[in-house]
Amino acid sequence: MSTFVEIDHIDKIFSLPNGDRYIALKNINLKIKQGEFISLIGHSGCGKSTLLNIVAGLDRATTGGVLLEGREVKEPGPDRMVVFQNYSLLPWKTVRQNIALAVDSAMKHLPQTERQQIVEHNIELVGLRPAADKRPHELSGGMKQRVAIARALALRPKMLLLDEPFGALDALTRGNLQERLMQICEESHVTTIMVTHDVDEALLLSDRIVMLTNGPEAHIGQILDVPMPRPRHRLEVVNHPVYYSLRNEMIYFLNQQKRAARRKKIAPKVAIASNGLEKVNLEIGFIPLTDCAPLVVAKEKGLFQKHGLEQVTLNREPNWKAIAEGITSQRLDAAQMVAAMPLAITLTGSTPLITAMVLSRNGNAITLHKRFYEQGVRTLEDFKAAIERTSDEVHMLGTVHPYSMHNLLLRYWLASGGIDPDRDVNLTVIPPPQMVANLKAENIDGYCVGEPWNSYAVHEDIGFVIKTDLELWAGHPEKVLGVREDWANQYPQTHVALVKALLEACEYCDDRRNREEVLELICRAEYVGSDPVYTRPGFIDPYDRGTGDRAETMLRFNQFYVDQATCPGRGEALWILTQLARWNLAPFPKNWLEVIERVRRLDLYWEAARQLDIPELEPSRQPFALFDGIPFDPDHPLDYLKNSNICREFRIEEISLDPAVKVA
């Protein structure tokens, strides 16, 4: 479906009496389909109503604009009707007269009898026939709001714009009106934008929820798709499997904004050396996955403070794209990253990143929809046959980010069986917490993701695990600690302290006597927020693939410390570079040794290890092989790349690396 409304890179700037300016909205960009219901949510002052007024034509953007069916919105018009919270009814006119006033004003070209029919139809539509001749003071708040909605709909608008229409109503009245609004929107197919503070209201009514960051310079922080089918009923929505995960995402986003606002009110401290550190307050990003455990343990067990980091805030990000943005924009000091991200961003962008340690190894699986198991799919060969039998269908597989090991291992596995991951199937990026909902909705046929989202699909009996990454490449790097190179140069002692705290946290996580405690920590709402029932498999309990076979004990499925797990080895990084080039995600660097040593900072890892009295070791750089037995020789990476059975046309380039910024 084509774009119906386009909000095109809107900025809204207000001039202040003292000559300064206030940037209310910054770079708002949104495309809306016809008939879609969009909710705008965010804290007071984030510009929700300002944005709604710009779409309505009641205000003008400073830069950018709004297109409705390809035409620029410059002023108010009957094609966009606004319903305000305060009803805006004329007190001396009846329900019928209030609606008729709008119809008679906007539809003078129609015969009077037709205008009367329109008025009566909309009175019926909102269920106000018994009150048609009553004046506003004789109506309840909910009835007044129904009049306002009827008046707006009577003009047959292309868009309905609702500014917290139910905010002043009691819960029962609000619920009844929400149900009525859903019915009206579904029957009329009117495109709707609603401003609300109510997360449950947004989930009940919306197709998508647009969440705005705090002002000034408020922007779209995250957009949530609401995949629940229509028509909707409140109880069915609340009991839908994605309801609470989406609700938690919204609440967590709002809580993050609340914390950010609170931090802004506190005067920032000057970066004075404390305990020998240049910076002691850090913002660290993570994704809600089981293997965020080292970050959670370091915070909850006081390891950050032990090493002089006085205040560390863990920011739960919606996806890996947000992690990359947070680091490159300097919103975050450090972050949990998918293993290839520091390498790929350094190769393809202007922001060199580094990693001085691996946070976790393994922990992933490839899950397919249960219908494939019912069709007899047990192996990769079976899956290929199933694809060939339905060659007229588009087979979608989810992965979390192009630079993730999930993507690289899934591609490697598919290609090993003769399935081209770009031509025989389609790979799509989906945030980890949304994988199961998309699988259940059959938007995808399967995915590769970290836990607990494979075990959740098994728990819900909608998927089965066809391969774990222990079977693909046991001990592969999964998540790493990523920072900007210039940040590490500016705060060298702080960086080493951070690595030391996380090294101790990784050791704590891999002591199986601590796993029950670690599980309780990561399952808290502010971290992974998952049910321990489906978070235990592989982490503590035997791993259930959902095939009916006996669950397997896999002691290395989540690996944090043992077997030199934290060391950022060079050989594994070089394998990653070959796969980024194989699928044309990044050029293969001719100066690959320089690139790897620039990004995988073994010197910093060793410094932290030395201070903790940990052996300063590096994994062997001898040739190794994945599940298919094909040896990878770190001395001849191009031979390995060129001999790949399925491969895109790749580039080999000399990568120019700017000199490291050195801060005195």
Q: Which residue has the higher pLDDT, 219 or 195?
A: 195
- How would you class 344 by CB atoms within 10 Å of its CB: exposed for 0-12, middle for 13-18, buried for 19 or more? buried
CA 448-452-453 angle, to 5 degrees, is 45
Q: What is the 3-state secondary structure (H, E, C) of 95-141?
A: HHHHHHHHHHHHCCCCCHHHHHHHHHHHHHHCCCHHHCCCCHHHCCH
Q: How confident is the model at residue 457 (pLDDT cuts 50, 70, 90)?
A: very high
Q: What is the mean pLDDT of residues 451-466?
A: 96
Task: Name the helix (H) or strand (E) containing 479.
Answer: strand 477-484
Parallel, antiparallel, or unpaired: how do β-strands 588-589 and 624-625 relate? Answer: unpaired
Q: Is the pLDDT of residue 658 over 70?
A: no
Q: What is the mean pLDDT of residues 161-184?
A: 74
Q: How confident is the model at residue 125 (pLDDT cuts 50, 70, 90)?
A: low
CA 61 from centroid of its chain's CA atoms? 28
Output the pLDDT for position 186: 79
- The sheet carrying 37-41 orders its strands as 80-83, 159-163, 191-195, 37-41, 208-212, 220-225
Q: Which residue has the higher pLDDT, 27 or 209?
A: 209
Output the pLDDT for position 259: 67
Q: Which residue has the higher pLDDT, 635 or 303?
A: 303
- Identify the weakest region by mean pLDDT among 166-170, 527-531, 621-625: 166-170
Q: What is the mean pLDDT of residues 202-223?
A: 86
Bridge partners of 68, per DSSP, are 5, 71
Tokens of 249: 């995402």
Task: Tell if the pTM clears 0.75, that is, is over it.
Answer: no
The number of residues making up the chain comes to 664
Output the pLDDT for position 265: 65
Output the pLDDT for position 1: 58
- Identify the weakest region by mean pLDDT among 83-87, 118-122, 201-205, 265-269: 265-269
- The conformation of residue 475, written as its DSSP 8-state character, comes to T
Q: Is the pLDDT of residue 661 over 70?
A: no
Parallel, antiparallel, or unpaired: how do β-strands 311-316 and 353-354 relate? Answer: unpaired
DSSP string, 591-636: THHHHHHHHB-HHHHHHHHHHTT--------S-EE-TT--EE-TT-
Residue type, 309: L
pLDDT digits (tens, 9 = 90+) for 324-368: 999 999 999 999 999 999 999 999 877 899 999 999 999 999 999
Q: Is the pLDDT of residue 549 over 90?
A: yes
Q: What's the CA gap between 430 and 319, in Å, rounded?
A: 8
Q: Is the pLDDT of residue 432 over 80?
A: yes
CA atoms within 13 A on the CB side of 421: 30
Q: What's the CA gap between 336 and 572, in Å, rounded?
A: 18
- How would you class 212 by CB atoms within 10 Å of its CB: exposed for 0-12, middle for 13-18, buried for 19 or more? buried
C-alpha gyration radius of the chain: 28
Residue 191: what are its φ and ψ, rounded to 5°? Answer: -75, 130
Q: How confident is the model at residue 273 (pLDDT cuts 50, 70, 90)?
A: low
Q: Which residue has the higher pLDDT, 149 or 459?
A: 459
Q: What's the CA gap between 580 and 328, in Å, rounded?
A: 20
Q: How confident is the model at residue 621 (pLDDT cuts 50, 70, 90)?
A: low
- The conformation of residue 65, written as its DSSP 8-state character, comes to E
Q: How confident is the model at residue 428 (pLDDT cuts 50, 70, 90)?
A: very high
DSSP string, 296-336: HHHHHTTHHHHTT--EEEEEE-SSHHHHHHHHHTTS-SEEE
> What are the chain's domains?
3-249 (3.40.50.300), 269-563 (3.40.190.10)
CA 269 from centroid of its chain's CA atoms? 31
| CA-based nearest residue to 400, from 423, 424, 432, 378 | 432
CA distances from 29 to 3, 19, 67, 211, 322 (A): 13, 28, 11, 12, 16
Tokens of 56: 């309505």
